[in-house]
Chains A and B, each alone.
Chain A
Amino acid sequence: MITLEKVSKIYNGSQVPVYALRDVSLKVAEGEFVAVMGPSGSGKSTLLGVLGAMNSPSEGRVVIDGIDVYGLRAERQADFRHEYIGFVFQHLQLLPYLTAQENVQLALVIAQLTKAEKRARAREALARVGLGGKEGRLPYQLSGGEQGRVAVARAIINQPPVLLADEPTGNLDRQTGTQVLELLRELNQAGQTVIMVTHDPLAAQYAGRRVQILDGQITPSTFQGENSASPAPWASLRLGSPEATATTRSRSSAATSSSATPSKARPASRSMSPGMRR
């Protein structure tokens, strides 16, 4: 369970303080797929930063899995990010000089695992997003969609309970964006909690719940959508092309096989590290 209690984020500008978030309260249940929508500058990316233990709020509390995130010391917050949060960034943030596998492994650099275990988990994560066999490719040798999937693989390799996606389709063409959204939906179907920030209403249809944010405040028009497991009408249309259908089929089978091994595929009920609550 993710809970935001009266969270405000104030930037002290040159003349007047600017509220990026104002008294935001929000609850996200385990396994939910929530889309946070709003126009540019509405505060949705700030909200994601606050949720990801990267941007401390000026007021209020953020509690994830019973942990008061900003009550942790700085180094513990880093540990928290490592163990609890997976990020998919708007610009993907793949390091151009690392291969796909190395980019994914980056999230495991500080994990207490052997080199072989890290390699195996990176390959497994890449296979899970349909990039088996492309581990050795550099980002520029991959298509935009494949790069997006590498970014998702990096976000999930550590099996975080919460996946945060910041405009994951923002810089991608429609077809590539669809592939990434499909992937997020499959992960959600496997039990992953996903919070996605987007200004694209079509992308938001993949979420089970949509939250509107405007001028740093959650608006009353927040919408509880259909079951997140069902693809949105728009998505079905876009997936109608032969290439997309083939991709969807292979992913569905991947999702099914993932579901068959819940210990690997469903990371939501993670036990907390000793001392993390401090």
Chain B
Amino acid sequence: MRLTDVSLSNLRRRKGRMALLVAGLMIGVATVVALTAITTTMRADIASKMDQYGANILIVPEANDLTLSYGGVTVASAAFDVSELTMPDLEQIGTIKDAASVAIVAPKLLGTATVGGQSVLVAGVRFSDEIRLKQWWHVSQGMEPAAMGDALLGSRLATTLGLGPGDRVQVEGQAFQVVGVLAENGSQDDDILFIDLAAAQQAMGKPGLVSLAEVAALCDACPVEEMVDQISGVLPQARVTALRQAVQLRMDTVGQLEQFALAVSAVVVVIGALVVLTTMLGAVSERRQEIGLFRALGFRQSHVMRIVLSEAALVSVAGGLLGWLMGMGAAVVLAPRLAGVTEPVAWSPWLALAALGGALLVGLLASLYPARSAARLDPSMALRSL
């Protein structure tokens, strides 16, 4: 028989009380684990669907802009020392440290053309990347462009020009066939004529050059600012800017949810600690005579503390383990329903360790005072008659 056997015997004897304590800890741990798992899954879900949220980094050629304005009204603007971006420049993005987190690079060449006697903005794009980047695009008439000579019209522009699928337009003397019209989405895309990038470069006489590139990049471990720094590093001739878009807003929401989860967890931890404290104090009070006997038999104060703390540790580990299982179960069930995530909840070993370690730490810290009280019991008073 060892000290731990004494603890185990006592736990077996007080099954009801200890079961309640395990249940209390389990609910606390489960709450924290479920909140953590759900917010982590939400973050992973956003990362996996980042192309849904559009670009979050904009790359434009470095230029010195001189803007003439007064009272908030821009009178004129002039750009000088404009350097160009080339397709090989953009390929450098694939060499940055977090290149794996770059989902889409969508280059664009901008220009103007006169269509039907009206000056319009023309954007040469890689349709495959652009459609993937702008998942809110919806072709309301016709179909998505597939060939080099295909053109896609913004909805307002189509209405203004009175053009639709099957019509032909000329850009710098080169003919394109309108194959589709975008549904109105409220962005500047409603007023643009989209053609293939290579065809645009050829028509505008700017082979291999681009006006700007939009990048969709996201990873949990590297904030967008860090990605911007890395891209700036490989493209010194470009100005790289982080865009605050839907993904960022969504990430901010997750961040707020994480803060909320942290606050709830803190409250739960305090309540859990109080439950352990009161239960262990009660248990110690019930066992005054028994502890007095231990002391009379020569147990040191440290031995008595070890008995009480061993009991607390065993109960805490049980509560932590069951709480982790319950919390993960709750996260698996609730994450898709409450947070609408499609990403599966990850069974992280770190979260399991944190749940066990946290429960153990709270259990032991909350039991320190009861353990010290038990150890300091005067054996003669505890045994009353002596």
Chain A residues at the B interface, C-beta cutoff of 8 Å: 45-46, 48-49, 52, 54-55, 74-75, 78-83, 85, 87, 89-91, 93, 95, 97-98, 102, 105-110, 115, 118, 154, 158, 166-167
A224 to chain B minimum Cβ distance, whole angstroms, is: 26
Residues of B within 8 A of A89 (CB): 293, 296, 383, 385-386
B161 to chain A minimum Cβ distance, whole angstroms, is: 92
Residues of A within 8 A of B294 (CB): 106
- Cross-chain contact B385 with A106 (CB below 8 angstroms): no
CA distance A154 to B294 in the complex (A): 12
- Cross-chain contact A54 with B386 (CB below 8 angstroms): yes
Residues of A within 8 A of B302 (CB): 75
CA distance A158 to B290 in the complex (A): 19
Contact of A52 among B2, B13, B303, B386 (CB under 8 A): B386
Nearest 6 CB-CB pairings of A with B: A82-B298, A49-B386, A97-B13, A55-B380, A81-B298, A49-B380
B310 to chain A minimum Cβ distance, whole angstroms, is: 12
Number of A-B contacts (CB under 8 A): 93
- Cross-chain contact B301 with A78 (CB below 8 angstroms): yes
B379 at the A interface (CB under 8 A) = yes
Contact of B301 among A49, A75, A102 (CB under 8 A): A75
Contact of B380 among A54, A90, A109 (CB under 8 A): A54
Residue in A closest to B382 when the chains form the complex, CB atoms? A54
Contact of B9 among A48, A98, A110, A158 (CB under 8 A): A98
B337 at the A interface (CB under 8 A) = no
Residues of B within 8 A of A46 (CB): 386
Known A-B contacts A48-B386, A55-B380, A55-B386; A102 and B9 likewise in contact (beta carbons under 8 Å): yes
B20 to chain A minimum Cβ distance, whole angstroms, is: 19
Chain B residues at the A interface, C-beta cutoff of 8 Å: 1-3, 5-6, 9-10, 12-13, 289-290, 293-303, 378-380, 383, 385-386
Residue in A closest to B381 when the chains form the complex, CB atoms? A55
CA distance A166 to B386 in the complex (A): 8
Residues of A within 8 A of B385 (CB): 45, 89-91, 166-167
Contact of A78 among B2, B13, B298 (CB under 8 A): B298
Known A-B contacts A55-B380, A109-B6; A83 and B12 likewise in contact (beta carbons under 8 Å): no
- Cross-chain contact A78 with B300 (CB below 8 angstroms): yes
Can you list 24 A-B contacts with CB-CB less than 8 angstroms, sorted by A residue number? A52-B386, A54-B383, A55-B386, A75-B300, A78-B298, A78-B301, A81-B295, A81-B296, A82-B299, A83-B298, A85-B298, A89-B293, A90-B385, A91-B385, A93-B383, A106-B6, A106-B297, A108-B1, A109-B1, A109-B2, A109-B5, A109-B299, A166-B386, A167-B385
